[in-house]
């Protein structure tokens, strides 16, 4: 057993970054982290090589994907299949997302 404390809590970006991603658990089949975007911020992520589940823990935004778009807020759970482009827009309150990748997240080449 492992308990991850603080997962899903907003973390302000630092060092000139527009977002914050903090990985909190990694095993070969799964990784878990917290993705934070401040109100009015910009989401600059690119499609991932892993299936992904977001749990919105705080904030209000719109999620735009290859297959549609929707307003999201606390308590929403979102599945994004690997390779699908997706971006959070219209972030009106600091957005905090618990993120689960399967298999474990692999950063894109050159990052």
Q: What is the rounded CA–CA span in Å between residue 35 and residue 96? A: 6
Q: Say if 55 falls within a structural domain.
A: yes
Domain carrying residue 66: 20-102
Question: Does residue 65 form part of some domain?
Answer: yes
The total domain count for the chain is 1
pTM: 0.93
The reply to whether 11 falls in a domain is no
The CATH number covering residue 86 comes to 2.60.120.10
What are residue 64's DSSP bridge partners?
69, 87
pLDDT of residue 107: 83
Per-residue pLDDT of 7-22, as tens digits, reads 999 999 999 899 999 9
Is residue 76 domain-resident? yes
Classify the phi-psi angles of 90: left when phi > 0, otherwise alpha if psi is within -120 to 50, otherwise beta: left
Long-range CB contacts (within 8 A, 24+) of 20-25: 21/99, 23/105
User: Is residue 40 assigned to a domain?
Assistant: yes
74 in a structural domain: yes
Sign of CA dihedral 41, 13, 107, 30: negative
Look up residue 59 and give its two tokens: 């904030």
Q: Tens digit of pLDDT for each residue in 42-96?
A: 998 999 999 999 999 999 999 999 999 999 999 999 999 999 999 999 999 999 9
């Amino acid at each position: 057993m492992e308990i991850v404390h603080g997962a899903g809590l907003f973390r302000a970006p630092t060092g000139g970054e527009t977002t914050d991603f903090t990985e909190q658990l990694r095993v070969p089949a799964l990784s878990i982290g917290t993705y934070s975007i401040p109100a009015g911020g910009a989401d600059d992520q690119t499609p991932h090589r892993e299936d992904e589940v977001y749990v919105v823990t705080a904030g209000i935004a719109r999620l735009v994907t290859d297959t549609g778009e929707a307003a999201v807020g606390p308590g929403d759970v979102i599945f994004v299949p690997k390779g699908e482009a997706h971006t959070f827009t219209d972030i009106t309150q600091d957005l905090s997302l618990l993120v689960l990748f399967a298999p474990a997240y692999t950063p894109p080449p050159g990052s």
